[in-house]
């Protein structure tokens, strides 16, 4: 009996162990490809905002043309020191033009903000979901919509400040939760402030817009190079801890 039992135990199969889960590789590359695809996908709502801008600008011009009286308008003499009065129609036209020029720099704005979140995710060991990036991108798109809406009732400068503050507050408050730090959210706030300030200067500088935009790109790229100069990207690709 003992021999039979021992023989049965010897012939018993060892318990099956769960195979180790394959290590996730190339996560950094996949995240960069996702960010690139998201920037391209966000052009759809931005193109809708641009179409809305064109439609409202055309409707306002037609309405203004119908309201122009047939009689000649007497031109009052004005001294050189006197400032021109505020004209809502002229301000609205300038606001539409500011929205148009802002949309031309949307790729730069989206890329810089997403790059900041990607650097926090890489250097601080955070994990951000695709939904986090998508909601931040939606808040950035709302900046252009708010700029279009406020530009119809406010001067261009105030409209820009109001749209930038509303969009930035939305992103910063959300960053406190997803970045798990007030200091990191403050860094995002500083980035958005600098980004919107430079963009406003570029929009107002007709002759030096290209020069200012190019200089901003050099500064942004230098910042990314500085903060990632010691990152072991091969370790990141292998799913290991970054050595920054």
For residue 174, pLDDT over 60 is answered with: yes
pLDDT digit string, tens, across residues 33-92 = 999 999 999 999 999 999 998 888 888 777 766 665 544 444 455 544 444 555 556 667
Range of the domain at 121: 24-55+87-229
CB atoms within 10 A of CB 49: 20
pTM: 0.76
pLDDT digit string, tens, across residues 113-151 = 999 999 888 888 788 899 999 999 999 999 999 999 998
Cα gap 216→209, rounded to integer Å:
11
Is residue 239 in a domain?
Answer: no
- Give percent of the chain above pLDDT 90: 36
- At residue 68, the pLDDT reads 56
Is residue 134 in a domain?
Answer: yes
Residue whose C-alpha is closest to residue 189's, from 202, 170, 203? 170
For residue 104, pLDDT over 70 is answered with: yes
Is residue 29 in a domain?
Answer: yes
Is residue 81 in a domain?
Answer: no
Length of the chain: 244
Is residue 70 in a domain?
Answer: no
For residue 200, pLDDT over 80 is answered with: yes
Where are the alpha helices (H) located in the chain, listed in sequence order?
A: 2-11, 27-41, 43-67, 88-104, 106-123, 130-150, 156-178, 182-204, 209-227, 233-237
* Cα separation of the two ends of the chain: 65
Number of domain units in the chain: 1
Is residue 11 in a domain?
Answer: no
Is residue 74 in a domain?
Answer: no
Is residue 113 in a domain?
Answer: yes
For residue 31, pLDDT over 50 is answered with: yes
- At residue 203, the pLDDT reads 86
């Amino acid at each position: 009996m003992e021999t039979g039992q021992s023989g049965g135990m010897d012939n018993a199969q060892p318990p099956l162990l769960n195979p180790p889960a394959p290590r996730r590789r190339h996560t950094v590359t996949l995240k960069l490809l996702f960010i690139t695809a998201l920037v391209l996908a966000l052009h759809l709502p931005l193109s809708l905002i641009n179409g809305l801008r064109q439609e409202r600008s055309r409707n306002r011009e037609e309405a203004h043309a119908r309201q122009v009286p047939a009689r000649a308008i007497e031109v009052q003499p004005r001294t050189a020191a006197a400032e021109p009065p505020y004209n809502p129609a002229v301000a609205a036209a300038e606001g539409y033009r500011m929205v148009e020029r802002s949309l031309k720099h949307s790729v730069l704005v989206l890329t810089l903000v997403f790059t900041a979140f990607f650097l926090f995710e890489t250097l601080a060991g955070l994990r951000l979901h695709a939904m986090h990036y998508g909601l931040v991108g939606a808040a950035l798109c709302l900046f252009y919509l708010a700029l279009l809406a406020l530009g119809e009732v406010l001067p261009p400068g105030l409209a820009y400040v109001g749209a930038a503050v509303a969009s930035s507050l939305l992103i910063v408050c959300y960053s406190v939760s997803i970045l798990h730090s007030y200091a990191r959210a403050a860094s995002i706030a500083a980035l958005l402030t600098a980004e919107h300030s430079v963009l406003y200067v570029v929009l107002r500088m007709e002759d030096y817009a290209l020069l200012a935009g190019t200089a901003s790109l050099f500064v942004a790229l230098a910042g990314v190079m500085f903060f990632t100069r010691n990152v072991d990207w091969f370790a990141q690709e292998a799913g290991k801890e970054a050595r920054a």
